[in-house]
Amino acid sequence: MNDDVVLELRDVKVHFSTDEGTVKAVDGVSFSMTRGKTMGLVGESGCGKSVTSQAILRLVPANGKISGAILLNRDGQEPVDIGALDNHSQDIRDIRGKDISMIFQEPMTSFSPLYTMGNQLMETILLHQTPDKSAARTQAVEMLRKVGIADPARRIDEYPHEFSGGMRQRVMIAMALSCSPEILIADEPTTALDVTIQAQVLELMQELQKDFGMSILFITHDLGVVAEMCDEVCVMYLGKIVEKAPVEEIFHNPRHPYTQGLLESIPKIGHKTEGDLKSIEGVVPVPINLKPGCGFCDRCEHKIEGLCDTYNVPTAEVAPGHWARCFLYPEVVEAHNKAVGGEE
């Protein structure tokens, strides 16, 4: 495994068995994260971006089954396959919060209202770093100072309800970074915040990334935030990555019709246009008992009859570092022919 790669997902699937059938929330996702860089995971609600991040920490609900390899590459150690670990094993517990930590979307509900902020912050430190309570407290106060909480020595003893939304999100970041993780998973960290507060939190995350050198997996549906924060982007649709490319490429040379549609459907600030926004017709299908074929083909204007609606689309490199899952590109058709030829 390349040393620069901290985390690699290979054909990861998360399937939920329900009464109506199997929900393929994540259906064959592969990507790798580079040390110190930010990977963006974008898509609309229900595309599987949050479940992907939960799978990395094995936090999916009990009826979900994870398959595929999730390789964590820690400094100077053998890579660990998180996909093969048990949900309750000591190994995964050692990884959670120490090597990989997570920031959640809802700063209101992700803290326990019954414990002080300090208590919740120190829990991670006590678990992974030091059994000494006063040392943990000192470290927690220091972390709070780093994320810009004024008067941290006093505020550490306050309860979550005494903090505003933006401040809670700062504490959550402090908690996630308290053990200097290799990877930070940020699941819609600024969605619940106002724009001026969002700007503060994004700024803070960029500064901390410079200081701590962690890789960030940034999950969001806001393309503006992606353009601002990420180095590389994966666009997800119906549990699959439909396009993966460096951030410049995604915004200036999008290949997949879904990515193109998404970019055209957002109004751009400072560029008021008369007339209609281009929208993607139809809605995201329910991921139960899906037919083979491209999940997007019913909404796509470039649909090729007999191809897009019959065969599962493979992914191929359409330009250096730019992967797409769409039959419009000869590289993809070639990969498809190879796969079909191999079966016969």
Interface with other proteins by CB under 8 A: which residues? 44-45, 164, 166-167, 194-200, 202-203, 221-228, 247-248, 251-252, 261-263, 265-270, 272-273, 276-281, 283-284
What is the longest distance spanned by two Cα atoms in the chain? 70
Contacts of 40 (CB under 8 A, 6+ apart): 218, 219, 220, 226, 229, 230, 232, 233, 234, 247
Query: Closest approach of Cβ 330 to other proteins, in Å?
Result: 27
Nearer to other proteins, 2 or 18 (CB): 18
Q: Which residue in the block uniquely carries the two structure tokens 């990395």?
A: 56
Residue with Cβ nearer other proteins (197 or 290): 197
Q: Are 149 and 175 in contact (CB under 8 A)?
A: no
Nearer to other proteins (CB atom), residue 126 or residue 326: 326
Give whichever of 139 and 209 is closer to other proteins, judged by the CB atom: 209
Distance of CA 288 to the CA centre of its chain: 23
Nearest approach, Cβ of residue 247 and other proteins (Å): 5
Instruction: Closer to other proteins by CB, 18 or 310: give it.
Output: 18
Q: How far is the CB of 205 from other proteins (least distance, A)?
A: 12
Minimum distance of other proteins from residue 119's CB (angstroms): 24
Least Å distance, CB 189 to other proteins, is 13
- Minimum CB separation from other proteins for residue 200, in Å? 6
**Closer Cβ to other proteins, 125 or 326, answer by number:** 326
* In the complex, minimum distance from the CB of residue 301 to other proteins, in angstroms, rounded to a whole number: 13
| Torsion of the alpha carbons at 38, 50, 100 and 235, rounded to the nearest 10 | -30
Neighbours of 272 (CB within 10 A): 7
By beta-carbon proximity to other proteins, the closer residue of 122 and 201 is 201
